[in-house]
Amino acid sequence: MSFHQCGGNVGDSCTIPLPRWVVEEMEKDPDLAYTDQWGRRNFEYVSLGCDTLPVLKGRTPVQCYSDFMRGFRDRFENLLGDTIVEIQVGMGPAGELRYPSYPEKDGVWKFPGIGAFQCYDKYMISSLQSAAEAFGKPEWGHTGPTDAGQYNNWPEDTNFFKKEGGGWDSQYGEFFLTWYSEMLLNHGERILQSAKAIFEDKGVKISVKIAGIHWHYGTRSHAPELTAGYYNTRNRDGYLPIAQMLARHGAVFNFTCVEMRDHEQPQDAQCAPEKLVRQVALATQEAQVPLAGENALPRYDDYAHEQILQASSLNINDQSGDREMCAFTYLRMNPDLFHPDNWRRFVAFVKKMKEGKDTNKCREQVEREAEHFVHITQPLVQEAAVALMH
């Protein structure tokens, strides 16, 4: 269920804006768009600050999302539980439960910048003011952090995110980050309540995508995670509250970057995708919520496939028991996937994923069996490769 604009994020190869009738309302009231401290508007997704306000021609954004899901259910009811077994509910940019804190469009943000807080539309500021007054510090409600740097800074460039005496670790920082992250959790809660009611007893799982923000993970403040709305620092687990929220509604926690290894990423930016995936696996285990995965970037090599197999087995400290990822989404289908060598590796990878971690078959046996599938799928592969080229 895509409630976001396609285009402007990693891997986007086309541009599909929000519906015209939504864009018209955003043009009349630009505060319906997420806004940074410099007044830059982001039109990828309607700001969660107005979730419950009738700003879209008399309906609230959450009502619009619900009406769409209800319409989908009614139109495809005969396929639910059979052909359609999972509904992935979009909750933000790129379909992920997060703020648009690292927009690639027009070069605003480049990896591995820390991103920027997105809480400066009038609806978010109004909520911040109410929270600050309730906290007894009304002066904290006028703006977000003013010393959190710019999109492409690194944590130590800023007073807010630096490790020693950074604002993130102050009373003000705790107040602001709690409010900012809870607004995101409440947004997820509202949409999930609706999705659960609409698809109840239809034989489908509901899943939610969470972004794999692995850069600067090795720092104390975890700045890029904070600007995206995940209150995860060296002293605090930001993924457990998300997992618990999903568990309350029986939803699947869908996480990305499972193909990455720490040493493949820039170590000066303290990237740690493996450690991040492990933290998320532990959080979902504690919350007793199913974990699904996907790769963040296109990969066709055995090295990435092996990492996915390892991550999906959920062998945390060699103590995962029977637990495995409940699903894996392979991104992305393009002509490169159907190159003969890549296809052979991919078929073997799928076979190994299907066998699961308890298989007694040796690697060579699985690969021999995969060769049979490579052979019989050859005509289909050629057809797909041609179709994707045009």
Q: Are residues 80 and 30 in the same domain?
A: yes
Residue in 96, 225, 259, 274 annotated catalytic: 96
Q: Are residues 78 and 165 in the same domain?
A: yes
Residue in 225, 259, 274, 294 annotated catalytic: 294
Q: Are residues 159 and 178 in the same domain?
A: yes
Q: Are residues 30 and 125 in the same domain?
A: yes
Is beta strand 291-294 parallel, antiparallel or unpaired with respect to 33-35?
unpaired
In the chain, beta strands by DSSP E: 33-35, 41-46, 86-88, 205-210, 252-255, 291-294, 327-329
Mean pLDDT of the 385-389 span: 81
pLDDT at 157 over 70: yes
The answer to the question of residue 9 being in a domain is no
The answer to the question of residue 367 being in a domain is yes
The answer to the question of residue 7 being in a domain is no
Q: Are residues 344 and 220 in the same domain?
A: no
Decide which of 309, 332, 355 is a domain's last residue.
332
Mean pLDDT of the 13-36 span: 95
Q: Tell me the C-alpha distance between 97 and 90, whole Å.
A: 7
Whether residue 17 contacts residue 23, with contact meaning beta carbons closer than 8 Å, is answered with yes
Is beta strand 86-88 parallel, antiparallel or unpaired with respect to 252-255?
unpaired
This model's pTM is above 0.85: yes
The answer to the question of residue 3 being in a domain is no
The answer to the question of residue 139 being in a domain is yes
Mean pLDDT of the 61-74 span: 98
The answer to the question of residue 361 being in a domain is yes
The dihedrals phi and psi of 22, each to the nearest 5 degrees, come to -75, -45
Q: Tell me the C-alpha distance between 172 and 168, whole Å.
A: 8
**Would you place residue 11 in the very low, low, confident or very high pLDDT band (cuts 50, 70, 90)?**
low
The answer to the question of residue 10 being in a domain is no
Whether 96 is catalytic is yes
Q: Are residues 345 and 322 in the same domain?
A: no
Decide which of 299, 332, 365 is a domain's last residue.
332
- pLDDT > 90 fraction of the chain, expressed in percent and rounded: 79
Whether residue 119 contacts residue 175, with contact meaning beta carbons closer than 8 Å, is answered with no
Q: Are residues 354 and 315 in the same domain?
A: no
Residue 55 sits in a domain of what CATH number?
A: 3.20.20.80
Q: Are residues 251 and 374 in the same domain?
A: no
Q: Are residues 320 and 342 in the same domain?
A: no
Mean pLDDT of the 267-293 span: 97
48-51: long-range contacts, CB 8 A cutoff, minimum separation 24: 48/92, 48/124, 48/183, 48/184, 48/186, 48/187, 49/119, 49/121, 49/122, 49/123, 49/124, 49/126, 49/127, 49/183, 50/121, 50/123, 51/186, 51/187, 51/190
Mean pLDDT of the 38-52 span: 98
Report the greatest alpha carbon distance in the chain.
Answer: 70
The answer to the question of residue 230 being in a domain is yes
DSSP single-letter state for residue 291: E
Q: Are residues 247 and 354 in the same domain?
A: no
Structural domains of the chain, count: 2
Mean pLDDT of the 244-249 span: 98
Decide which of 286, 304, 332 is a domain's last residue.
332
- Domain of residue 346 covers 338-390
Q: Are residues 112 and 215 in the same domain?
A: yes
Whether 182 is catalytic is no
Q: Tell me the C-alpha distance between 319 and 185, whole Å.
A: 30
Q: Are residues 265 and 370 in the same domain?
A: no
Mean pLDDT of the 233-244 span: 98
**DSSP assignment string, 116-135:** -----SHHHHHHHHHHHHHH
